[in-house]
């Protein structure tokens, strides 16, 4: 009977951390969408702000803001810190290398849990999907 209880607890933990990861990725995706460079030199956020100042109302195409995911502040801080070590090639930005993650966590003296690494990879994928696109 204890064996089944353990499975249920692990399933519930996976569901909890999976849901938290999904919220963090949605937040990163929203933030990255606002940072997409525009042909005139600003970002999407700049374009929305200019429209809203001129029109006096929200831009009709502004995406719905994703809430800051409570309990994931450390993931967002780590992800922000890791951006400084992100490699760039002539083709654009590249995924965060495993060696960079290992060096970063060694430097700050943290042993991340498996779900945290999974979340960072998902955040990185969202970042690359939106901001890793070549701009015309």
Q: Which residues of 70-95 are buried (b: 16+ CB within 10 A; e: fewer)?
A: eebeebbebbeebeeebeeeeeebee
Asked if residue 125 lies in contact with residue 79, where contact means CB atoms within 8 angstroms, the answer is: no
Q: Which range marks the domain in which residue 23 is found?
A: 2-35+67-131
pLDDT value, residue 63: 86
- The pTM score is 0.82
Span 37-87, pLDDT tens digits: 888 889 999 999 999 999 999 999 888 888 888 889 999 999 999 998 889
The total of structural domains in the chain comes to: 1
Does residue 6 lie within any of the structural domains? yes
Does residue 81 lie within any of the structural domains? yes
Span 94-134, pLDDT tens digits: 999 999 999 999 999 999 999 999 999 999 999 999 987 65
Give the containing element (helix H, strand E) for 89: strand 88-89
Does residue 43 lie within any of the structural domains? no
Does residue 17 lie within any of the structural domains? yes
Q: Give the C-alpha separation, 78 to 20, whole Å.
A: 16
């Amino acid at each position: 009977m204890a064996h089944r209880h353990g499975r249920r607890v692990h399933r519930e933990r996976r569901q909890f951390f999976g849901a938290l990861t999904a919220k963090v990725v949605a937040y990163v995706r929203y933030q990255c969408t606002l940072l997409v460079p525009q042909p005139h030199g600003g970002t999407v956020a700049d374009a929305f702000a200019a429209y809203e100042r001129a029109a006096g109302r929200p831009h009709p195409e502004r995406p719905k803001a994703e809430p800051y995911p409570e309990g994931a502040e450390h993931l967002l801080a780590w992800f922000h810190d890791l951006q400084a070590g992100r490699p760039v090639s002539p083709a654009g930005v590249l995924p965060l290398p495993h060696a960079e993650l290992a060096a970063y966590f060694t430097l700050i003296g943290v042993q991340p849990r498996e779900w945290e690494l999974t979340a960072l990879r998902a955040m990185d994928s969202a970042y690359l999907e939106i901001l890793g696109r070549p701009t015309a």
